[in-house]
Amino acid sequence: MGTMWFNFNMMPIAFKTIALIGRYNTAEIAESLLGLASLLRQRSCHVLIEKETATNIGKNEFDTADYAEIGARANLAVVLGGDGSMLSAARNLAQYGVPLVGVNQGRLGFMTDIAFSHMRETIELLISGKYTIGERTMLETRVLRGEKELFCTQALNDVVVNKGGTGRMIEFLVHIDGQFVYDLRADGIIVATPTGSTAYALSSNGPILQPNVPGFALVPVCPHTLSNRPIAVSDRCVIEITIKHRAAGARLHFDGQPHSELAADDKVIVRRAAHSIRFVHPPGYSYYAMLREKLHWSEM
Protein backbone atom coordinates (compact mmCIF):
# COMPACT_ATOMS: atom_id res chain seq x y z
CA MET A 1 0.00 0.00 0.00
CA GLY A 2 1.55 3.33 -1.02
CA THR A 3 0.93 6.88 0.07
CA MET A 4 -2.70 7.83 0.50
CA TRP A 5 -3.83 11.44 0.54
CA PHE A 6 -6.84 12.79 2.35
CA ASN A 7 -8.09 16.33 2.61
CA PHE A 8 -9.50 17.02 6.04
CA ASN A 9 -10.55 20.60 5.42
CA MET A 10 -14.19 19.50 5.38
CA MET A 11 -13.88 17.12 8.31
CA PRO A 12 -14.37 18.11 11.98
CA ILE A 13 -11.11 16.55 13.17
CA ALA A 14 -8.89 18.22 15.78
CA PHE A 15 -5.79 16.99 17.55
CA LYS A 16 -6.79 17.01 21.18
CA THR A 17 -3.61 15.47 22.64
CA ILE A 18 -0.28 16.37 21.05
CA ALA A 19 3.11 14.91 21.92
CA LEU A 20 6.27 16.98 21.45
CA ILE A 21 9.54 15.22 20.66
CA GLY A 22 12.86 17.05 20.48
CA ARG A 23 16.13 16.36 18.75
CA TYR A 24 17.97 13.56 20.51
CA ASN A 25 20.33 14.52 23.33
CA THR A 26 20.26 18.28 22.92
CA ALA A 27 18.92 21.06 25.11
CA GLU A 28 19.03 23.64 22.30
CA ILE A 29 15.38 23.15 21.41
CA ALA A 30 14.11 23.88 24.95
CA GLU A 31 12.92 27.45 24.32
CA SER A 32 11.12 26.73 21.04
CA LEU A 33 9.61 23.47 22.29
CA LEU A 34 8.27 24.99 25.50
CA GLY A 35 6.95 27.97 23.54
CA LEU A 36 5.08 25.61 21.24
CA ALA A 37 3.77 23.67 24.24
CA SER A 38 2.36 26.88 25.73
CA LEU A 39 0.71 27.81 22.43
CA LEU A 40 -0.94 24.40 22.17
CA ARG A 41 -2.23 24.62 25.72
CA GLN A 42 -3.71 28.05 24.93
CA ARG A 43 -5.55 26.35 22.05
CA SER A 44 -7.05 23.79 24.47
CA CYS A 45 -4.75 20.95 23.45
CA HIS A 46 -3.34 18.58 26.03
CA VAL A 47 0.45 18.44 25.70
CA LEU A 48 2.75 15.50 26.36
CA ILE A 49 6.53 15.87 26.21
CA GLU A 50 8.46 12.73 25.32
CA LYS A 51 10.36 11.44 28.35
CA GLU A 52 13.95 11.81 27.09
CA THR A 53 13.12 15.16 25.52
CA ALA A 54 11.81 16.37 28.88
CA THR A 55 15.06 15.26 30.55
CA ASN A 56 17.13 17.13 27.96
CA ILE A 57 15.23 20.42 28.20
CA GLY A 58 15.04 20.44 32.00
CA LYS A 59 12.25 20.96 34.48
CA ASN A 60 8.92 22.11 33.06
CA GLU A 61 5.22 22.12 33.90
CA PHE A 62 3.98 19.77 31.17
CA ASP A 63 3.20 16.08 31.43
CA THR A 64 5.88 13.66 30.28
CA ALA A 65 5.30 10.33 28.57
CA ASP A 66 7.33 7.48 27.11
CA TYR A 67 6.63 6.24 23.58
CA ALA A 68 4.13 3.63 24.75
CA GLU A 69 2.12 6.30 26.59
CA ILE A 70 2.32 8.62 23.59
CA GLY A 71 1.07 5.77 21.44
CA ALA A 72 -1.88 5.21 23.74
CA ARG A 73 -2.84 8.84 24.30
CA ALA A 74 -1.64 11.17 21.53
CA ASN A 75 -3.47 12.09 18.31
CA LEU A 76 -0.37 13.74 16.82
CA ALA A 77 3.37 13.89 17.48
CA VAL A 78 5.30 17.03 16.55
CA VAL A 79 9.01 16.39 16.09
CA LEU A 80 11.41 19.34 16.44
CA GLY A 81 14.71 18.43 14.82
CA GLY A 82 15.91 17.00 11.54
CA ASP A 83 15.27 13.87 9.51
CA GLY A 84 17.17 11.76 12.06
CA SER A 85 14.71 12.79 14.75
CA MET A 86 11.79 11.93 12.46
CA LEU A 87 13.28 8.50 11.71
CA SER A 88 13.66 7.72 15.39
CA ALA A 89 10.12 8.86 16.20
CA ALA A 90 8.72 6.85 13.28
CA ARG A 91 10.38 3.63 14.43
CA ASN A 92 9.01 4.13 17.92
CA LEU A 93 5.46 5.19 17.01
CA ALA A 94 4.57 3.27 13.83
CA GLN A 95 3.03 0.39 15.77
CA TYR A 96 0.63 2.80 17.51
CA GLY A 97 -0.61 4.64 14.41
CA VAL A 98 0.26 8.10 15.76
CA PRO A 99 0.86 10.50 12.84
CA LEU A 100 3.99 12.69 12.76
CA VAL A 101 4.78 16.18 11.58
CA GLY A 102 8.29 17.64 11.60
CA VAL A 103 9.61 21.13 12.36
CA ASN A 104 12.96 21.50 10.61
CA GLN A 105 15.77 22.38 12.99
CA GLY A 106 18.28 20.25 11.11
CA ARG A 107 19.96 20.79 7.76
CA LEU A 108 18.40 19.29 4.63
CA GLY A 109 15.10 18.08 6.05
CA PHE A 110 13.35 15.94 3.42
CA MET A 111 10.80 14.80 6.04
CA THR A 112 10.44 17.90 8.20
CA ASP A 113 7.85 19.98 6.36
CA ILE A 114 7.50 22.95 8.69
CA ALA A 115 10.14 25.68 8.60
CA PHE A 116 11.12 26.75 12.09
CA SER A 117 10.42 30.39 11.20
CA HIS A 118 6.78 29.50 10.43
CA MET A 119 6.25 26.97 13.20
CA ARG A 120 3.57 28.73 15.24
CA GLU A 121 1.24 29.75 12.42
CA THR A 122 1.61 26.40 10.65
CA ILE A 123 0.87 24.36 13.78
CA GLU A 124 -2.23 26.50 14.34
CA LEU A 125 -3.42 25.59 10.84
CA LEU A 126 -2.90 21.90 11.57
CA ILE A 127 -4.83 21.88 14.82
CA SER A 128 -7.69 23.74 13.11
CA GLY A 129 -7.99 20.82 10.68
CA LYS A 130 -6.14 22.21 7.66
CA TYR A 131 -3.74 19.44 6.62
CA THR A 132 -3.22 16.40 4.44
CA ILE A 133 -1.82 13.08 5.54
CA GLY A 134 0.31 10.53 3.69
CA GLU A 135 1.18 6.96 4.58
CA ARG A 136 4.82 5.82 4.26
CA THR A 137 5.96 2.23 3.95
CA MET A 138 8.48 0.85 6.44
CA LEU A 139 10.91 -2.07 6.34
CA GLU A 140 11.21 -5.02 8.67
CA THR A 141 14.67 -6.56 8.94
CA ARG A 142 15.69 -9.84 10.52
CA VAL A 143 19.22 -11.21 10.88
CA LEU A 144 19.56 -15.00 10.95
CA ARG A 145 22.64 -17.00 11.93
CA GLY A 146 21.71 -20.55 11.05
CA GLU A 147 18.29 -21.12 12.59
CA LYS A 148 18.79 -18.47 15.27
CA GLU A 149 17.33 -14.97 14.91
CA LEU A 150 19.92 -12.48 16.14
CA PHE A 151 18.03 -9.28 15.57
CA CYS A 152 14.77 -7.81 14.29
CA THR A 153 13.95 -4.15 13.75
CA GLN A 154 12.03 -1.67 11.60
CA ALA A 155 13.36 1.11 9.41
CA LEU A 156 11.71 3.96 7.55
CA ASN A 157 14.52 4.99 5.21
CA ASP A 158 16.74 2.03 4.48
CA VAL A 159 18.61 -1.07 5.49
CA VAL A 160 22.29 -1.19 4.53
CA VAL A 161 24.83 -4.00 4.48
CA ASN A 162 28.30 -2.55 3.98
CA LYS A 163 31.99 -3.19 4.51
CA GLY A 164 32.10 -1.58 7.94
CA GLY A 165 35.54 -0.39 8.95
CA THR A 166 37.48 -2.54 6.49
CA GLY A 167 39.05 -1.16 3.35
CA ARG A 168 38.08 -4.16 1.24
CA MET A 169 34.94 -4.96 -0.71
CA ILE A 170 32.56 -7.49 0.73
CA GLU A 171 30.81 -10.28 -1.16
CA PHE A 172 27.24 -11.42 -0.75
CA LEU A 173 24.42 -13.21 -2.50
CA VAL A 174 21.07 -11.56 -3.19
CA HIS A 175 17.82 -13.50 -3.59
CA ILE A 176 14.35 -12.02 -4.15
CA ASP A 177 11.36 -14.21 -3.30
CA GLY A 178 13.73 -17.18 -3.28
CA GLN A 179 15.07 -16.47 -6.78
CA PHE A 180 18.79 -15.87 -7.21
CA VAL A 181 19.56 -12.33 -8.43
CA TYR A 182 23.35 -11.97 -8.24
CA ASP A 183 26.60 -12.65 -6.45
CA LEU A 184 27.84 -9.13 -5.74
CA ARG A 185 31.23 -7.75 -4.77
CA ALA A 186 30.84 -4.15 -3.62
CA ASP A 187 31.27 -1.76 -0.73
CA GLY A 188 27.70 -2.68 0.20
CA ILE A 189 24.06 -2.69 -0.79
CA ILE A 190 21.14 -0.45 0.20
CA VAL A 191 17.50 -1.54 0.40
CA ALA A 192 15.53 1.72 0.41
CA THR A 193 11.87 2.59 0.77
CA PRO A 194 10.41 5.43 -1.34
CA THR A 195 10.99 7.69 1.67
CA GLY A 196 14.61 6.53 1.87
CA SER A 197 15.19 6.91 -1.86
CA THR A 198 16.25 10.54 -1.22
CA ALA A 199 18.74 9.55 1.50
CA TYR A 200 21.87 7.34 1.23
CA ALA A 201 20.46 5.59 -1.83
CA LEU A 202 20.31 8.90 -3.73
CA SER A 203 24.00 9.61 -3.07
CA SER A 204 24.75 6.13 -4.47
CA ASN A 205 22.97 6.94 -7.75
CA GLY A 206 19.73 5.20 -6.83
CA PRO A 207 16.37 6.28 -8.27
CA ILE A 208 13.99 8.68 -6.56
CA LEU A 209 10.72 6.87 -5.84
CA GLN A 210 7.57 8.89 -5.36
CA PRO A 211 6.13 8.11 -1.90
CA ASN A 212 3.08 6.27 -3.27
CA VAL A 213 5.15 3.90 -5.43
CA PRO A 214 4.62 0.38 -3.96
CA GLY A 215 8.26 -0.62 -4.29
CA PHE A 216 11.77 -0.72 -2.88
CA ALA A 217 15.07 0.25 -4.48
CA LEU A 218 18.09 -2.09 -4.30
CA VAL A 219 21.17 0.05 -4.77
CA PRO A 220 24.72 -1.41 -4.89
CA VAL A 221 27.37 0.80 -3.27
CA CYS A 222 30.51 1.05 -5.44
CA PRO A 223 30.08 -2.37 -7.11
CA HIS A 224 33.13 -4.12 -8.56
CA THR A 225 31.23 -4.73 -11.80
CA LEU A 226 29.89 -1.45 -13.15
CA SER A 227 26.98 -3.20 -14.85
CA ASN A 228 25.45 -3.89 -11.42
CA ARG A 229 22.83 -1.14 -11.47
CA PRO A 230 20.09 -0.12 -9.03
CA ILE A 231 16.82 -1.96 -9.49
CA ALA A 232 13.28 -1.30 -8.22
CA VAL A 233 11.21 -4.22 -6.96
CA SER A 234 7.70 -4.66 -5.58
CA ASP A 235 7.28 -3.91 -1.90
CA ARG A 236 5.62 -7.33 -1.63
CA CYS A 237 8.98 -9.01 -2.27
CA VAL A 238 11.15 -10.66 0.35
CA ILE A 239 14.81 -9.71 -0.12
CA GLU A 240 17.50 -12.01 1.25
CA ILE A 241 21.15 -10.96 1.51
CA THR A 242 23.59 -13.75 2.43
CA ILE A 243 27.11 -12.89 3.54
CA LYS A 244 29.82 -14.97 1.85
CA HIS A 245 32.86 -16.33 3.65
CA ARG A 246 35.19 -13.73 2.12
CA ALA A 247 33.13 -10.86 3.55
CA ALA A 248 34.83 -10.46 6.92
CA GLY A 249 33.91 -7.10 8.46
CA ALA A 250 30.44 -6.74 6.92
CA ARG A 251 28.09 -4.64 9.03
CA LEU A 252 24.36 -3.93 9.21
CA HIS A 253 22.90 -0.42 9.46
CA PHE A 254 19.26 0.71 9.57
CA ASP A 255 18.19 4.33 9.09
CA GLY A 256 21.83 5.32 9.46
CA GLN A 257 22.18 3.59 12.81
CA PRO A 258 24.99 1.00 13.08
CA HIS A 259 23.89 -2.24 14.62
CA SER A 260 26.17 -5.25 14.40
CA GLU A 261 28.94 -7.08 12.64
CA LEU A 262 27.82 -9.79 10.24
CA ALA A 263 29.58 -13.14 9.95
CA ALA A 264 29.94 -15.54 7.03
CA ASP A 265 26.63 -17.20 6.08
CA ASP A 266 24.54 -14.70 8.07
CA LYS A 267 21.28 -13.86 6.30
CA VAL A 268 19.65 -10.43 6.30
CA ILE A 269 15.94 -10.78 5.48
CA VAL A 270 14.18 -7.57 4.44
CA ARG A 271 10.45 -7.21 3.76
CA ARG A 272 7.67 -4.69 4.10
CA ALA A 273 6.84 -4.07 7.76
CA ALA A 274 3.37 -4.81 9.12
CA HIS A 275 3.05 -1.18 10.25
CA SER A 276 3.45 2.01 8.26
CA ILE A 277 3.86 5.58 9.49
CA ARG A 278 1.66 8.54 8.65
CA PHE A 279 3.06 12.01 7.94
CA VAL A 280 0.91 15.08 8.42
CA HIS A 281 1.56 17.82 5.85
CA PRO A 282 0.61 21.50 6.14
CA PRO A 283 -1.59 23.26 3.56
CA GLY A 284 0.14 23.75 0.23
CA TYR A 285 2.56 20.84 0.66
CA SER A 286 3.92 19.47 -2.63
CA TYR A 287 6.35 16.55 -2.87
CA TYR A 288 7.78 17.94 -6.10
CA ALA A 289 8.20 21.42 -4.64
CA MET A 290 10.09 19.82 -1.76
CA LEU A 291 12.42 18.05 -4.23
CA ARG A 292 13.00 21.27 -6.16
CA GLU A 293 13.92 23.09 -2.98
CA LYS A 294 16.12 20.43 -1.40
CA LEU A 295 17.89 19.33 -4.59
CA HIS A 296 18.10 22.83 -6.13
CA TRP A 297 16.30 21.89 -9.30
CA SER A 298 15.30 24.59 -11.80
CA GLU A 299 17.89 27.03 -10.51
CA MET A 300 19.67 29.27 -13.01
HSE value, Cβ hemisphere, 13 Å, CA-based, for 270:
33
Domain ranges, residue 33: 6-136+276-295
Task: Give the per-residue pLDDT at 180.
Answer: 98
Residues marked active site are found at: 83
Task: Give the per-residue pLDDT at 50.
Answer: 96
Name 277's bridge partners: 136
**Residue 98: inside a domain:** yes
Closest CA to 193 of 231, 230, 155, 142: 155
**Residue 1: inside a domain:** no
For residues 147 and 110, membership in a common domain is answered with no
Contact by Cβ (8 Å): 53, 33: yes
Over residues 126-130, the mean pLDDT reads 93
Model confidence band, residue 186 (pLDDT cutoffs 50, 70, 90): very high
Here the contacts of 261-267 (C-beta below 8 Å, separation 24 or greater) are 261/164, 262/143, 262/161, 263/145, 265/145, 265/146, 266/143, 266/144, 266/145, 266/150, 266/242, 267/143, 267/144, 267/145, 267/240, 267/241, 267/242, 267/243
Task: Give the per-residue pLDDT at 27.
Answer: 65
238-279: pLDDT as tens digits = 999 999 976 567 899 999 998 888 999 999 999 999 999 999
CATH classification at residue 42: 3.40.50.10330
Task: Report whether pLDDT(4) > 70.
Answer: no
For residues 160 and 250, membership in a common domain is answered with yes
Closest CA to 290 of 156, 133, 113: 113
User: In angstroms, rounded to a whole number, what is the distance separating the alpha carbons of residues 120 and 108?
Assistant: 21
Over residues 227-233, the mean pLDDT reads 94
For residues 130 and 149, membership in a common domain is answered with no
Task: Give the per-residue pLDDT at 157.
Answer: 98
For residues 11 and 128, membership in a common domain is answered with yes
Q: Is the pTM of this model over 0.85?
A: yes
For residues 125 and 146, membership in a common domain is answered with no
Model confidence band, residue 109 (pLDDT cutoffs 50, 70, 90): confident
DSSP 196: G
**Residue 300: inside a domain:** no
**Residue 185: inside a domain:** yes
How many structural domains is the chain composed of? Answer: 2
Closest CA to 21 of 72, 87, 89: 89
Question: Tell me, what amino acid is at 222?
Answer: C
Name 218's bridge partners: 191, 231
Average pLDDT over the chain, rounded to whole? 90
